Amino acid sequence: MVAYTKQVRPGLDIRVGDLRDFRLGRTVDAILCLGNTLAYLHDNHDIQAAFATLAAHAHAGTVLILLTPIAPIERTEPRTSRVDTLGLHAQVTIHYEWDLRTQINTMYRHWLLDDSTEHQDTIRRRVLWPRELELYATLSGFTVVDMFGNPTVRTEPLCGPNGYVIAHYR
């Protein structure tokens, strides 16, 4: 994604870093934390460090927008679907496991490509409950002003599996 962005928007200042300790040395007016970024941090210390990084780049009034899993995907039966996209034509079968203690949702995918080759991959994502997200945000200096699951109809009740969090830095 970084290479693609640099190619199509060469004038943008693109930087890559670890959310737990990356520092630009300046603040910004808006921070976007999307793409399940927080979900790949599995322990509480790493989550706290990520929120410290977000706060390090904020000044009074900075808007924070997060998108992260807020509820596990608990399907008991595997689900199979078809994927046809640029350069990939396959059938994928997915099943999930949920570990309540660690709040890790594990997705196992088995890929059967049209050329009969098979691949498997595993994705582990931490689920952060809404009140937990609010606590981490508050402890790092943000005030949560809204949480919703559907960005087009923000008045609907908050429901999983993903949630948006809108906050301002104090």
| pLDDT per position as a tens digit, 85-115 | 988 999 999 999 999 999 999 999 999 999 9
Separation of alpha carbons 119 and 142, rounded Å: 42
Provide the CATH topology of domain 28-71+127-169: Rossmann fold (3.40.50)
For the chain, give every domain's residue range: 28-71+127-169, 79-126
| pLDDT per position as a tens digit, 10-61 | 999 888 999 999 999 999 999 999 989 999 999 999 999 999 999 999 999 9
Separation of alpha carbons 61 and 169, rounded Å: 5
Per-residue pLDDT at 47: 98
| pLDDT per position as a tens digit, 119-162 | 999 999 999 999 999 999 999 999 999 999 988 888 888 887 99
Separation of alpha carbons 168 and 90, rounded Å: 43
pTM over 0.75: yes
Contact predicate 6/14, CB 8 Å: yes
